[in-house]
Amino acid sequence: MLSIKNLRASVEGKEILKGINLEVKAGEVHAIMGPNGSGKSTLANILAGKQDYEILEGEVTYLGQDLLQLSPEVRSRSGIFLSFQYPVEIPGVPMINFLKASVNEHRKFKGLAPLTAGEFLKLMRAKKEMLHLDTELTNRSVNEGFSGGEKKKNEIFQMAMLEPKLAILDETDSGLDIDALRIVAEGVNALKTPDNATILVTHYQRLLDYIVPDFVHVLYNGRIVKSGGKELAFELEEKGYDWLKNGNEI
Amino acid sequence: MSIISEKAAGTDQMVTLFEQNKEILIQGSSPILNRMREVSIKRFAQAGIPDFKNEDYKYTNLKPAFEKSYRQELVREAGLINLNEVFKSNIPELDAHLVFLVNGWFYKGNNPGAELPKGVVLGSLDQIANEHPELLLNFLNRQAGLSVDPLVALNTALTKDGFFLFIPKGVIIEKPVQIINLLSSEVDLMATQRNLIIAEDDTQVKIVVCDHSLSPITFLYNSVSEIYIGNDAVLDMYSIQNLHNQSTVVNSLFFKQQRNSSLTTGVISLHGGLIRNNLKVTFNGDHSEANINGMSFTDKKQHVDNFTVIEHSSPNCLSNQIYKNILDDESTGAFAGRIHVARDAQQTNAFQRNNNVLLSDNARMQTKPQLIIDADDVKCSHGATVGQIDEDALFFLRARGIGENEARMMLMNAFAHEVILKITIEQLRERIDELIEKRLSGEISRFHEQLFI
């Protein structure tokens, strides 16, 4: 589904990613872990199409297409979903208008007719029930005045509405209390199918108690320095990232 | 009959125009209009047409607009307007008491009286000043006459007509009153219009004023309105300015509020070559409230200048101003807001905010708050921002599949939304949302440009 080969990228002249290689297949859950500043969020943002980065080298193929050539909106419509580390507050844009525009753009891309107001509300209700969300979030402007937990729940709700093929969750667990974390994790698990894939970007092992990855990659200083199964996460938790920093054994 | 001035450029030419046409100006007009003319033209002549040297016009030079020859419609012309055509011109269609004015003159075909509550007068200022001068006597030019603005003085000297609205004590007008000001002429035209609104104690009214240019010529439109709001009265007044790029508009609104009254305004400058809005509120009684809002959209070489003065002359009043501008291309904007809290106006709350979005590197915005506070127990604040579209928000929307142009539109709409939400007439709010969409998508500009083809 996704293939990253020797990806190097810089921001403001500083090289952040120094040669990333990653293969993600349908049905898989990959966790990318690493200390602050290792390049995790940069990788997530580049995949979603944020233009603040300069690609120095390498290629990214998504479903046979050159991903880096696509605009953020086309990536989204093609099934890539980034759950933002810091979801943006947009006062004055009602959540419901935003979601409707988003869902209908996705439908248009697939050659489907836009949803009627009634169909849209029905879809929203179904997804809310599935995620056990209260109804309040959709009556407000996008993320405006939402707590950290509400913002993250709102991201998962958008994900449920858009049913992406490849979901990239950037630090979705940060700033969540244990109840919110459970709701978010259950949502991600409920949306998982054999046809889609998930990349979890996280600093802590905590989220992986709820969403079990098939692969764990350790990103350090712009490179994936270690890959393994879910047990790698426990090892990291036990030994800390210092183990890598000092660790020559990679 | 119309008068073409030989060379109506500049201050002297305006004075000459006045002198040469004095007979026509006076003829048929009420003495209460005529008695103000001589003194006003003198005041105008002394001050002259304002440019950057006039502190109150620091950001707007009106001189170029006066360097042209204009037809003046000093006598009512029996023109006919096609109402169906008019509503195609992006004028919001409302369920309202509707009247038209053409080139400053109250249209003879209007028939607003039938449905209005008993005692309400809505008609031609010229006609009512002649027939019932007692209604206007204590109000006409009482506020405008104190103004130092030369354009207000010029208006008082040249004015022949406008609309007059009188709401007697205790009357509530349920439906909005919609006033549509049309500019229509074969040759370049200077229109002068004078309006007066008297809302007595315990009245309620919502007024929508729409300014529109209909012909592909240069317009210079100088309008002055005085509005009196009685004790416990509630008055909402919205202006929608939608004129083509060869229009210069100077629109002066003077509000005077008595005790425990409430005012809400919204000036939506959708389109126009040069627009200068003067707005003054005087609190003449305690426990009153004024919510004053403005939203403007400019592109190409357009210019919009909002100049507000809030006179807190009485204690325990609240004024709250929000002005916003979205500026593209090489357009320019200005906001200057003066708040004066008099010595005895304790417990005043006065707030002012001006937020601006520049869509291009060449757009310019000038913003200038001015607080003069002579009382000691007051809460006043002001703030101004000039920025660009929020790139993070733009990326967020695009990352959800919304195309770049549509995402930009959403964000601009959202920016304007705060002001639009203040509009208390639901059907108008919806119409304005549509008009803003049309404005931002370029449809309104194209409509105006078509006139010139």
Report the interhelical angle of A117-131 vs A95-109 (nearest 10°): 100
Residues 6+ away with beta carbon under 8 Å from A147: none
Q: Give the pair of three-digit tokens for residue B174.
A: 């349920």
> B 151-210 residues with CB below 8 A of A?
none
* Max CA separation in chain A (angstroms): 60
Contact B431, B420 (CB under 8 A): no
pLDDT of residue A250: 45
A-chain CB neighbours of B404 within 8 Å are: 71, 73
At residue B381, what is the residue type? S
For B375, counting Cβ atoms within 10 Å of its Cβ (0-12 exposed, 13-18 middle, 19+ buried), the class is middle
- Is A101's CB within 8 Å of B413's CB? no
**Residue A34: closest CA among A189, A239, A218:** A218
Contact A145, A87 (CB under 8 A): no
Q: Phi and psi (nearest 5°) for A173?
A: -85, -15
For B402, the closest of A48, A50, A102 (CB atoms) is: A102
pLDDT of residue A246: 61
Contact B261, B229 (CB under 8 A): yes
Residues 6+ away with beta carbon under 8 Å from A155: A83, A84, A87, A172
For A105, the closest of B396, B401, B413 (CB atoms) is: B401
Contact A130, A122 (CB under 8 A): no
Q: Look-up: residue for tokens 């005012």?
A: B263
CA distances from A152 to A45, A139, A171, B364 (A): 17, 16, 10, 38
Residue A160: pLDDT above 60?
Answer: yes
For B399, the closest of A82, A109, A142 (CB atoms) is: A82
pLDDT (tens digit, 0 to 9) for every residue of chain B, 453 residues total? 455 443 335 899 999 999 999 999 999 999 999 999 999 999 999 999 998 888 999 999 999 999 889 999 999 887 777 777 788 788 888 999 999 999 999 998 887 767 899 999 999 999 999 999 999 999 999 999 999 999 999 999 999 999 999 999 999 999 999 999 999 999 999 999 999 999 999 999 999 999 999 999 999 999 999 999 999 999 999 999 999 999 999 999 999 999 999 999 999 999 999 999 999 999 999 999 999 999 999 999 999 999 999 999 999 999 999 999 999 999 999 999 999 999 999 999 999 999 999 999 999 999 999 999 999 999 999 999 999 999 999 999 999 999 999 999 999 999 998 999 999 999 999 999 999 999 999 999 999 999 998
B67 interface with A at CB cutoff 8 Å: no
For B396, the closest of A77, A88, A91 (CB atoms) is: A88
B-chain CB neighbours of A51 within 8 Å are: 395
What span, in angstroms and rounded, lies between the C-alpha atoms of B240 and B434? 13
Residues 6+ away with beta carbon under 8 Å from A148: A175, A176
B-chain CB neighbours of A90 within 8 Å are: 390, 393, 396-397, 411, 414
> B 394-413 residues with CB below 8 A of A?
395-404, 406-407, 410-411, 413
What span, in angstroms and rounded, lies between the C-alpha atoms of B116 and B113? 5
- Alpha-carbon gap: A180 to the closest alpha carbon of chain B (Å): 22
CA distances from B392 to A96, B196, B343, B365 (A): 20, 48, 46, 23
What span, in angstroms and rounded, lies between the C-alpha atoms of A98 and A90? 10
- Is A87's CB within 8 Å of B410's CB? no
